[in-house]
Structure 1
Amino acid sequence: MRTVYRGKIFTFNQCATLLNLQGVIPGNLFVDDEKFTFLRDGAMIVEEGKIVTIGDYHKLKETLLPEDKVVDYGNKLITPGFFDTHMHATQTSGVGAYGEKLLTWLENYIFPSEVAFNSEQAGRREYDILLNQLFKNGTTSICAYLPTSYDGADLLFDMTNRYNMRAVMGNTIMTDGNKNLITDPQTSMKISEKLYNKWHGTDRISYALTPRFALSCTEETMGLCREFLESHPDAYTQTHICENVNEIEDTISKFPWAEDYLAVYEKFGLVNDKSIYGHCIHLSDSEWSRMVEKGAIFANCPASNNYLGSGLFKYKTAVERNAKLTLATDWAAGNTLSMLRVMDDAYKVAILNSFKLETLTRWFSATLGSAKALGLDKYVGSLEVGKEADFIVIDPEANDLLGYRLESSYNLLDYLFSLSALGDDRIIAATYIYGNKVYSK
């Protein structure tokens, strides 16, 4: 059976890019552009998890079938679900812990909380909380760091797959550091191999080789990571780079032969167009150039960077160099799972660096831009015919102040800016994954 979703609709179109969205100024609220669509009274028809038609409701209603089910969201906004490209599925119990700085925060709060995932019961409870909160905040696709153990990682693969969620995930590889979390290099690779073979390409799941960061890996481990990627070139890689100045100094001390942080990953073949790099705050000019040239993905995490005082990401550089820019929460150093709050933090960070990060750029980087960066845009990221029906319903009036503010909204950019400036989980009325409702207020 087909389901017709009626309401306001906003989506980017496939031709939208980071560059061609710069300087776009819609003349009024209800305007279309080749790069995006805004429908005042739109309709989206979904069948078997896919979008089969989208357009103006009054033009489509004559084509509806008697058996079609109509879900009328009235004045609410239907828009693509958010894509969080960097988060830690093992850190929910540590959210809101006193920040300190990155390395101290990890040792004092996060590593101890991650040990709990040696217990399936504890892991299942925390994953349930995490997934429910993701859906409550309108996130439908994730890139996630999982436990170091096979059982703990396998559990979240299974749980996300039950929701038919689009997810890129992997067991966190740690062979140096906290004694309660580390495994030996060979064991880590066996876990990676087993998870890849079981889950990669299953339904909407992709495997990501996940060395936590260079400090948590020995050279032997990094060499095994290179061998894994040579054997499995379709796997993603996710790790951290240049998040904290002390982290950078410690990395260079550990690998004294490296000219910079990125050189460590380059030596072991971990920099390519399927590599997702978290933070990227303190990159040198050379590192920026090499990452962009190799098509690496920038997963920037402004909420986390602010919380731990890690630094200000250079959004101006990312836009000018046409980097594969994505936005992420870095849960749970990021103290929110709301990509609306992350968009707002990104705006503030850019302003502190005397750069106006445009509204469309931020929404793009949280939806279609992320999907494009990961090569998943033929599936998700926008509401277009043939794509998977991952979408959310936003109710601005659920926040009294936001509802009042939008009474004077004068064009699409002002409307979207206000949603990200004042919105949070309160305005997410419903979340759909592959056409199935997974959250509703």
Structure 2
Amino acid sequence: MKTFYRGKIFTFNHSATLANIQGLVPDSLFVDEEHFTFLRDGLIAVENGKISAIGDYNSIKHQICAEDQVVDYSNKLITPGFIDAHMHATQTSAVSAYGEKLLTWLNNYVFPSEVAFKSDISARREYEILLKQLFKNGTTSICAYLPNSYDGADLLFEITHRYNMRVIMGNTIMTDGNDDLITTPATSMKISEKLYQKWHNTGRISYALTPRFALSCTEETLQLCQEFVHTHPDVYIQSHLCENKNEIQDTLTKFPWAEDYLAVYEKYDLVTNKSIYGHCIHLSDSEWNRMVTKGAILANCPTSNNYLGSGLFRYDVAIAKDAKFALATDWAAGNTLSMLRVMDDAYKVAMLNSFKLETLSRWFSATLGSAKALQLDQYIGSLEVGKEADFIVIDPAANDLLNYRLESSHDLLDYLFSISSLGDDRIIDATYIYGNKVYDSKRS
């Protein structure tokens, strides 16, 4: 049996890239068959968690059989679920902490909150709150930093596996710093190995080796991370890079042999085409070029960077250099889990750098562009036959101001721009993961 979903449909097509969608102007039918599709009255068929058909309603409605189910989302927008490429699953209780820069914020608020994850009860409660909010905001995939303990990390792997989420996650490796959080290098690697063996490529899960950042690691730790990457060549790597100027200076003081921040990771072979580096605000020209050459992923977090006053990401440079970048919340330094709000902040950050970040570029970087950067585009990021059915339903009418604004909107770019400028969790009507509804606004 299939389930058919009827409504407006917007999706990028697999051929779309950040470069070839620049400057695109939709025609009067709102359709660009090469790069993206917008259907005013579309239909998607889902069977066994995957998309089996998509097209104009009148063109494919004949495929509906008597035993099939039809879900009517007319006048609502069906679009791919959002991908959050950098977030911390351990920081929900620290969200909206007031008035500190990065390093002070970590020491005063974040590290104490993460100690609570030694309790299974505390961890389970926080994970339940986090996932509910992710689904409520239309996020279907995450790249997440987990607790440094085996049990605390294993629990979220277990929960996301139950939801059949497409995730990239790993235990946070921290061997230098807060005494209540650090482990020995050998212990961290044992936990990493155990989680990798249990969860990597299990269902829709990928394991990521996750040294928190250079300041939280000794050279022995980084050397063990290097050995792990050599023996597990398919592993993802995630860490932080050039988020804050004081962080950069402290890193160069700790590793005086390094010519720059990136060189610390490069020495230990932690910069690959499966490396996800959060922030990347203050990269030198050399660091930009080396990141691009090695195909590393820049996970940009404008909401977080604004909140902590860290700086402005150079979208103009990223696009000009054809860098692999994705949008992210950096929850809970970012004080929202809404990728719509992140898109809006990305636009504002770009404007502060006198650069207009186009509407399609922002939607792309939260969906298919992120999936391509993460090498997951064969599975997620767009609504195409054969792909996993991770999608959301947006109801602009749930926000009176947005609904009023859209009355005067008569082209696709303005329609999408208004949704990303004025939208938030209120307009997410439903969220589906692998064809299963995990959020319904009417039942929340």
Please report the TM-score for the alignment, with normalisation by the length of structure 2. Answer: 0.99
Which residue identity lines up with residue 310 of structure 2 in the other structure? S
For 1:328-339, list aligned pairs within 5 A: 328-339=328-339
Q: Distance in 1 between matches of 2:260 and 2:288?
A: 12
Report the secondary structure of 1:100's partner residue: coil
Q: How does 1:1-40 map to 2 (within 5 A)?
A: 1-28=1-28, 30-40=30-40
Alignment-derived partner of residue 200 in structure 1:
200
Distance 2:31 2:242 in 1: 40
State the secondary structure of the residue aligned to 2:98.
coil
Per the TM alignment, residue 61 of structure 1 is displaced from its structure 2 partner at its CA by: 1.2
> Shift of residue 60 of structure 1?
1.1
Query: What aligned pairs does 1:230-245 form with structure 2 within 5 A after superposition?
Result: 230-245=230-245
> Partner of 2:20: helix, strand, or coil?
coil
**Aligned match of 2:287:** 287
Q: State how 1:400-411 maps to structure 2 within 5 Å.
A: 400-411=400-411
Which amino acid is the alignment partner of residue 171 of structure 1?
N
Q: Distance in 2 between matches of 1:28 and 1:85?
A: 34
1:282 is paired with a residue of what secondary structure? coil
Uncovered stretches (5+) of structure 2, i.e. residues with no partner: none
**Aligned partners of 1:8 and 1:38 also within 8 Å:** yes
Distance 2:110 2:328 in 1: 19
C-alpha separation between the residues in 2 aligned to 1:241 and 1:3?
A: 44
Q: Equivalent residue for 1:63?
A: 63
Match of 1:168 in 2: 168
Q: Percent identity?
A: 78
Contact 1:341 1:421 in 2 (8 A): yes
Matches within 5 A, 1:167-186: 167-186=167-186
d(CA) in 2 for partners of 1:102 and 1:396? 36
Rounded to whole Å, the distance in 1 between the matches of 2:410 and 2:332 is: 36
Kindly indicate whether residue 228 of structure 2 is the aligned counterpart of residue 228 of structure 1.
yes
* Structure-to-structure mapping, 1:26-175, within 5 angstroms: 26-28=26-28, 30-175=30-175
Instruction: Report the secondary structure of 1:420's partner residue.
Output: helix
d(CA) in 2 for partners of 1:263 and 1:430? 44
Q: Deviation of residue 25 (structure 1)?
A: 1.2
SS at match of 1:281: coil
C-alpha distance in structure 1 between counterparts of 2:99 and 2:318, whole Å: 27
Matches of 1:157 and 1:29, distance apart in 2: 43
Matches within 5 A, 1:308-323: 308-323=308-323
2:15 partner letter: C
Q: Which string of whole-angstrom CA distances, capped at 9 and with x for unpartnered residues, describes residues 333-367 of structure 1?
A: 00000000000000000000000000000000000
Contact 1:133–1:337 (Cα < 8 Å) also in 2: yes
1:99, distance to aligned residue in structure 2 (A): 3.5
Q: Alignment partner of 2:148: what SS?
A: coil
Greater than 3 Å deviation, 4+ residue runs: none
- Partner deviation per Cα, 1:107-127 (whole Å, 9 max, x = no partner): 000000000000000000000
Indicate if the aligned counterparts of 1:29 and 1:412 stay in contact, CA closer than 8 A: no
Kept in 2: contact 1:364–1:370 (CA 8 A): yes
**More moved, 299-308 vs 20-29:** 20-29
Whether the 8 Å CA contact 1:29–1:411 is kept in 2: the answer is no
Q: Is the 8 A contact 1:240 1:278 kept in 2?
A: yes
The 3-state SS of whatever aligns with 2:335 is: coil
- Residue 70 of structure 1 and its aligned partner are, at CA, apart by 0.3
Name the Cα RMSD after superposition. Answer: 0.6
Name the counterpart of 1:345.
Answer: 345
The residue number in structure 2 matching 1:418 is 418
State the distance in 1 between where 2:357 and 2:259 align. 31
The 8 Å contact of residues 214 and 251 in structure 1, kept in 2 or not, is answered as yes
Query: How far has the Cα of 1:29 moved from its partner?
Result: 6.1
Unaligned runs of 5+ in 1: none
Cα distance in 1 for partners of 2:78, 2:134 equals: 17
**DSSP-derived class of the 1:348 partner:** helix
Q: Which residue type is aligned with residue 167 of structure 1?
A: V
Shift of 1:410: 2.0
Q: Which residue of 1 aligns with 2:434?
A: 434
The AA in structure 2 aligned to 1:403 is N
SS at match of 2:31: coil
Count matched residues: 441
Equivalence for 2:256: 256
SS in 1 for 2:264: helix
**Residue of structure 2 equivalent to 1:360:** 360
Tell me the distance in 1 between the aligned counterparts of 2:58 and 2:21.
29
Report the Cα distance in structure 1 between the residues aligned to 2:63 and 2:27, rounded to whole angstroms: 31
| Cα distance in structure 2, aligned partners of 1:440 and 1:331 | 23
Question: SS of the residue aligned with 1:393?
Answer: strand
Distance apart, 1:375 and its partner CA: 0.6
Q: Secondary structure at the match of 1:271?
A: coil
Report the TM-score when normalising by structure 1: 0.99
Q: Which amino acid letter does the alignment assign opposite residue 291 of structure 1?
A: M
CA contact (8 A) 2:30 2:37 kept: no
User: CA offsets per residue over residues 21-76 of structure 1, 9 Å max, x none?
Assistant: 11111133633331000000000000000000000111111221111100000100
Secondary structure of residue in 2 paired with 1:349: helix
The answer as to whether partners of 1:390 and 1:434 remain within 8 angstroms in 2 is: yes
CA distance in 2, matches of 1:61, 1:80: 21
Q: Would you say the 8 A contact 1:143–1:169 is kept in 2?
A: yes
Amino acid at match of 1:10: F
1:53 is matched by which residue type in structure 2?
A: A
Secondary structure of 2:160 counterpart: helix
User: Take 2:271 and 2:282, find their aligned partners in 1: how far apart are those partners?
Assistant: 17
Give the counterpart letter for 2:92 in structure 1. T
Is the Cα–Cα contact under 8 Å of residues 237 and 275 in structure 1 kept in the other structure?
yes
Native 8 Å contact 2:368 2:377 kept in 1: yes
